Structure 1
């Protein structure tokens, strides 16, 4: 007997949508020759991608609204206009060296679900909405999950609008420049539930040989910008003991972070220095200033707090141990670990079972909009397997057409079942 709420989407159409969006902001990686995506938040490329996605939403019959953070929502009405909607979505902004799937699969998968429901003449009790959140990556304005954090009321729109990129442009000005400073209140009313489909961005599913993951939560994230101020000096004439070397201090910090991770004293801590620059950046001058970022991840919030405290203590040691050196720190982001709703996880797992898809449960190592929306409503995520050990934020990021379709089949079935709940 056919299961009436078991939904299979058009995988070819979904794949074509992913390919078409990947052409917006496309570039060729000089080292590998692969095609990548560079679509930083609220750049012209991001604006072009947004307009393309909006056109697909409208073609699918969704009514589109844009809030004061530039978050985009496409709505498909249900039979009960008073019922809270079921929300899905993700983001389409990227890092500068991205692939075609990060965030985009969740947005385009949501649109494909709506197309499929339309073609099958299926109505739902609750409305369905597909969201595109602004500046999820955080690489341009320095705070990740920014649009969803404002929507969920963790951050204010005033704070977000005042953030600047490295050229001094504010997010508020860029919203206006690109035409995405919408009129709608940025504070999102609580949905009935939220489900986000996303490429895993890690090796767990690939190594297990499984296509689908049921995500149990997201680990904590801490971002800091650290600036070392020393003294510029001639590399040949200045004795080592008389230097205030900002570059040396930065290197000592990087080594210390790795030692903290290797010690095992901070649980499953991960530490990354992803941005590092020295000034004046000349061969024969001792650096007067070094700027770097520190990205800490940990599923244990107490262990994360210990790591942050010990990092701060080490910075004080560096400052007192090298005369002429001063250190400034700036908090960029801090989110606690977020467990996802067990009920929504069960809906996802049952949908995978009904599609005959093996699945496993796993914690997300990356941050996602879902961790913000979880403050408003029951939330969980679907991961799809990435190839090449799940590499992401890289032109080699890849998931197969079949795996993407299977993940969105699970999304479609889960959304339909949630949208018909009382």
Structure 2
């Protein structure tokens, strides 16, 4: 039942993307839908209403992950899953995550309009807290679902205001009754903007994602001594911010030593007591490394902590460095990837194979079921920014490839 004569409604797709972007809209044209906030609740409620309007049955699990189900002709078949996330960064763009969810909705709407019944059931997913910007753990909902994270420990994570994940889930009414754990499913597909410059630079309309790169993340706390900025000489200073600056430079140096494939970032930094005339006595910050090679990540994980500790000691500081998680390089399923490749070719869309530089829910889901991803270009490769932008035709191309791949998988011989 696949083919280029069955087309998604590109105008409806774009209009729905823009309607979702109004929820949490920022003055600079982006969105702020932090996970498990009232704004997130509003986005979830709207998504649920749209799903129910085309006859989908929506259920919510204990992590707030939302599943919108469309039955298939054969109820004994495992469902084909697809989706992404609706939460955003504090200064996020309209398309990061939302494209995959809203395009999935458009797939369901098109099937409804064309009265197409697939052999296998379909389920569209909105995963909870992919971004990790509020509670410090990205891929939280899919991580618990896939068994990477333990639910009770995740419930105990707190934001900067001291609110726990459990309190936030219950506060917006999205702690569901269904357990957040893997269930029998056929496969998973996720459409996402590339969040990088490669597709645009090469004039490709579709990225055929073959896997996700390896990562290691840390939380760091440097402790020195608060002191008067005007009376404390260099010889007696234990300036935590100076130590943090040196470690930030180390992260950058270790990244650049690995060429264009290297990634190393300190994205969050808190200085205490944060007063203009006090030598900082404590600094808390994040560290993350990413690389397509699992061996390179293992080398970074083996070398970075010791070098960081040495730098801290040199300036009289103590360093508490806690590894949050280490994600191995994750290849995607060759058969599912082939369906994406075939769909792009059938539609005549210029495409290339690509490794995902960003973490996505698909990376954790791939540990449980066959998985593939589809990338669309984004202007200048810019993401996690209010100026994030894609063209309507790029969104439509990605959605059409998703439609073709999902139908091909759902209708394959049993």
Q: Same fold judged by TM-score > 0.5?
A: yes
* C-alpha displacement of 1:239: 1.5
Q: What does the per-residue CA deviation read over 1:286-315, in whole Å, with 9 as the maximum and x for residues that have no partner?
A: 111111111211111221121122211112
Q: 2:323 aligns with which of 331, 337, 340?
A: 331
2:322 paired with 1:350: no
Structure 1 residue 334: deviation in Å? 2.4
Residues 162-177 of structure 1 aligned to structure 2 (within 5 Å): 162-177=156-171
Partner SS state of residue 20, structure 2: helix
- Give 1:319 shift: 3.4
Where do 5+ consecutive residues of structure 1 fail to align? 29-33
Contact 1:5 1:417 in 2 (8 A): no
| Alignment partner of 1:123 is 2:117 | yes
* 8 Å contact kept, 1:6–1:355: no
Aligned pair partner of 1:295 in 288, 295, 301? 288
**Partner Cα separation in structure 2 for residue 4 and residue 255 of structure 1:** 52
Distance in 2, Cα, partners of 1:105 & 1:260: 33
Q: CA deviation at 1:5?
A: 7.1
Aligned residue for 2:288, secondary structure, equals: strand
Match of 1:258 in 2: 252
Which of these residues, 205, 215, 240, is aligned with residue 209 of structure 2? 215
How far has the Cα of 1:282 moved from its partner?
Answer: 1.8
* Offset, 1:4: 5.0
RMSD over aligned Cα, in angstroms?
1.5
Bigger mean CA deviation after superposition, 4-13 or 127-136: 4-13
Residues 208, 375 of structure 2: 8 Å contact kept? yes
Name the count of aligned residue pairs.
Answer: 413
Contact 1:227–1:329 (CA under 8 A) maintained in structure 2: yes
Match of 1:39 in 2: 33
| CA deviation vs aligned residue, 1:346-379 (integer Å, no higher than 9, x gap) | 1111111111111110001000000011011110
Q: Which residue of 1 aligns with 2:22?
A: 23
Distance 1:5 1:376 in 2: 31
Matched, 1:398 2:389: yes
Structure 1 residue runs of 4 or more that deviate by more than 3 Å after TM superposition? 2-7
CA distance in 1, matches of 2:308, 2:195: 32
Of 352, 357, 372, 2:364 maps to 372
CA distance in 2 between counterparts of 1:240 and 1:369 reads 47
CA contact (8 A) 2:2 2:404 kept: no
Output one character per residue of 1:16-37: Cα deviation in whole Å (capped at 9) or x when no partner: 1100000111111xxxxx3110
Contact 2:225 2:239 in 1 (8 A): yes
1:61-87 Cα distance to aligned partner (Å, 9 max, x none): 100100000000000000111110000
Structural mapping, 1:30-109, within 5 Å: 34-109=28-103
Name the stretch that deviates more: 168-177 or 312-321: 312-321
Indicate if the aligned counterparts of 1:7 and 1:412 stay in contact, CA closer than 8 A. no
Aligned to 1:274: 267
Contact 1:143/1:333 (8 A) holds in 2: no
State the TM-score, normalizing by the size of structure 2: 0.97
**Map of 1:420 onto structure 2:** 411
Gaps of at least 5 residues in structure 2 are none
Alignment of 1:209-248 (within 5 A): 209-248=203-242
SS in 1 for 2:290: strand
The secondary structure found in structure 2 opposite 1:27 is coil
Counterpart in 1 of 2:10? 11
**Cα deviations by residue, 1:72-114 (Å, 9 ceiling, x for unpaired):** 0000000111110000000000000111101111111111001
Return the alpha-carbon distance in structure 1 between the equivalents of residues 234 and 402 of structure 2.
61
- Could you tell me how far apart the structure 2 residues matched to 1:45 and 1:409 are? 29
Counterpart of 1:31?
none
Change (3 A) 1:185 1:3: closer
Compute the displacement of 1:267 (Å). 8.6
Q: Does 1:362 align with 2:362?
A: no
Cα separation, 1, equivalents of 2:188 and 2:257: 38
Q: Give the Å deviation of 1:225.
A: 1.4
Contact 2:203/2:350, CA 8 A, preserved across alignment = no
Correspondence for 1:382 = 374
Work out whether residues 348 and 414 of structure 1, in 8 Å CA contact, stay in contact via their aligned partners in 2. yes
Distance, in Å, in 1 between the alignment partners of 2:179 and 2:252 is 43
Give the corresponding residue for 1:319.
312
